[in-house]
């Protein structure tokens, strides 16, 4: 079964190592890794058994450097501007041998995507109102602006938690919900009443906050067991 890291699928742990080496090869010493590679690395490094100690109070970037042994490695740049190296081979060794338990049925993935699409206007409204206050990310201390911020659902009431509660309240099996698309790419609810009910439930129950994109990525992911809704 495949390993899924930040939405990327890999057949083996060796494939994960290859992906890391490619990122290193495309990152010069002292330079931050690309924004496209960052979600993969942060999710991968959360498997490292020293992740909590190494990230400290939070990181503001991941860079690369040459080690004293002549090899190259990744470096966590903390929000206090200290830095520490971190081993991707060790992080990969810490990943459990089987990842199939984390795979969600495709209809459920589509349902969650449609639910996100339905509340996008609420997310944009919150972002616009709070950016006017010149906020700072509580994890990275980075001043937030439109290009670097992300709207997050404050734990423990995460997006998935609220959506799961809504489904249970309305007795919805997400695998049976009709999902359409806009432009062939954006998932949407076909049922307008369902969409309106979800929008109202989200507006009443969501506790939103602004974080930097990198701050949001390094938060531990809350897993929701969706199976009681469809099994």
Helices vs. strands in the chain: H and E counts, helices first: 9, 9
Which pLDDT does position 105 carry in this prediction?
86
Is residue 43 within 8 A of residue 63, CB to CB? The reply is: no
145/147 Cα distance (integer angstroms): 6
Q: Which long-range contacts link 19-24 to residues 24+ away (Cβ below 8 Å)?
A: 20/44, 20/74, 20/88, 20/92, 24/64, 24/72, 24/73, 24/74
Q: What is the mean pLDDT of residues 16-39?
A: 95
Task: Count CB neighbours of 59 within 10 A.
Answer: 25
pLDDT at 99 over 70: no
Task: Count CB neighbours of 58 within 10 A.
Answer: 20
Sequence ranges of the chain with CATH classification 3.10.450.40: 3-93
> How sure is the predictor about 98, in pLDDT bands with cuts at 50, 70 and 90?
low
170/47 Cα distance (integer angstroms): 36
Q: What is the mean pLDDT of residues 6-21?
A: 93
Is residue 23 within 8 A of residue 33, CB to CB? The reply is: yes
Q: What is the CATH number of domain 3-93?
A: 3.10.450.40
pLDDT at 100 over 70: no
Q: What are phi and psi of 5, to 5 degrees?
A: -125, 115
pLDDT at 205 over 70: yes
pLDDT at 211 over 70: yes
SS3 label, residue 216? helix
pLDDT at 196 over 90: yes
pLDDT at 1 over 90: no
Is residue 62 within 8 A of residue 33, CB to CB? The reply is: yes
211/93 Cα distance (integer angstroms): 30
**Each residue's pLDDT tens digit, 159-192:** 999 999 999 999 999 999 999 988 777 899 999 9
Q: What are phi and psi of 143, to 5 degrees?
A: -70, 135
231/174 Cα distance (integer angstroms): 11
Is residue 193 within 8 A of residue 38, CB to CB? The reply is: no
Which pLDDT does position 103 carry in this prediction?
63
pTM score, two decimals? Answer: 0.79
pLDDT at 101 over 50: no
116/166 Cα distance (integer angstroms): 13
**Each residue's pLDDT tens digit, 35-85:** 999 999 999 999 999 999 999 999 999 999 998 778 899 999 999 989 999
Which pLDDT does position 158 carry in this prediction?
96
pLDDT at 223 over 90: no
């Amino acid at each position: 079964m495949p390993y899924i890291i930040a939405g990327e699928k890999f057949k083996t742990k060796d494939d994960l190592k290859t992906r890391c080496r490619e990122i290193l090869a495309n990152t010069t010493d002292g330079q931050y890794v690309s924004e496209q590679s960052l979600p993969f690395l942060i999710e991968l490094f959360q498997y490292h058994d020293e992740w909590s100690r190494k990230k400290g109070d939070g990181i503001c970037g991941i860079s690369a450097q040459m080690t004293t042994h002549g090899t190259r490695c990744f470096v966590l740049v903390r929000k206090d501007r200290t830095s520490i190296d971190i081993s991707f081979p060790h992080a990969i060794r810490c990943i459990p041998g089987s990842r199939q338990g984390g795979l969600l049925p495709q209809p459920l993935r589509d349902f969650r995507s449609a639910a996100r699409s339905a509340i996008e206007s609420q997310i944009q409204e919150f972002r616009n109102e709070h950016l006017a206050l010149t906020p700072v990310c509580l994890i990275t201390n980075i001043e937030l602006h439109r290009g670097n911020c992300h709207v997050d659902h404050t734990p423990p009431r995460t997006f998935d938690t609220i959506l799961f509660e809504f489904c249970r309240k309305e007795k919805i099996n997400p695998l049976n919900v009709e999902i359409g698309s806009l432009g062939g790419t954006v998932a949407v609810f076909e049922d307008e009443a369902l969409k309106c009910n979800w929008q109202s439930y989200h507006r009443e129950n969501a506790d939103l906050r602004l974080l930097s994109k990198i701050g949001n990525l390094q938060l531990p992911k809350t897993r929701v067991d969706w199976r009681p809704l469809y099994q």
